[in-house]
Amino acid sequence: MSGFRMTAKLKIISGGQTGVDRAALDAAIELGIPCGGWCPKGRKAEDGPLDPKYPLKETDCSDYAVRTEWNVRDSDGTLIVTRGKPTGGTAYTIAMARVHKKPCLVIDLDKLSSPRKWGPREETLDPRLRGDDIVKWLTENNISNLNIAGPRESNMRGIYNDAKEYFKKWLFSRSSG
Q: What ranges do the domains of the chain cover?
A: 14-171
Q: Would you identify the CATH topology of the domain 14-171? A: Rossmann fold (3.40.50)
- Give φ, ψ of 166 to 5 degrees: -60, -45
- Please write the tens of the pLDDT for every residue from 27-48: 999 999 999 999 999 999 999 9
| pLDDT number for residue 5 | 45
* Averaged pLDDT of the chain: 85
User: Is 140's pLDDT higher than 60?
Assistant: yes
User: Is 3's pLDDT higher than 80?
Assistant: no
The three-state DSSP-derived secondary structure of the chain is CCCCCCCCCCEEECCCCCCHHHHHHHHHHHHCCCEECEECHHHCCCCCCCCCCCCCEECCCCCHHHHHHHHHHCCCEEEEEECCCCCHHHHHHHHHHHHCCCCEEEEECCCCCCCCCCCCCEEEECCCCCHHHHHHHHHHCCCCEEEEECCCHHHCCCHHHHHHHHHHHHHCCCCCC
Region 121-148: mean pLDDT is: 76
- Please write the tens of the pLDDT for every residue from 39-97: 999 999 999 999 999 999 999 999 999 999 999 999 999 999 999 999 999 999 999 99
Q: Residue 136's pLDDT band (boundaries 50, 70, 90)?
A: confident
Region 133-140: mean pLDDT is: 84
pTM above 0.75, yes or no: yes
- Please write the tens of the pLDDT for every residue from 145-172: 999 999 999 999 999 999 998 888 777 7
Q: Residue 129's pLDDT band (boundaries 50, 70, 90)?
A: low
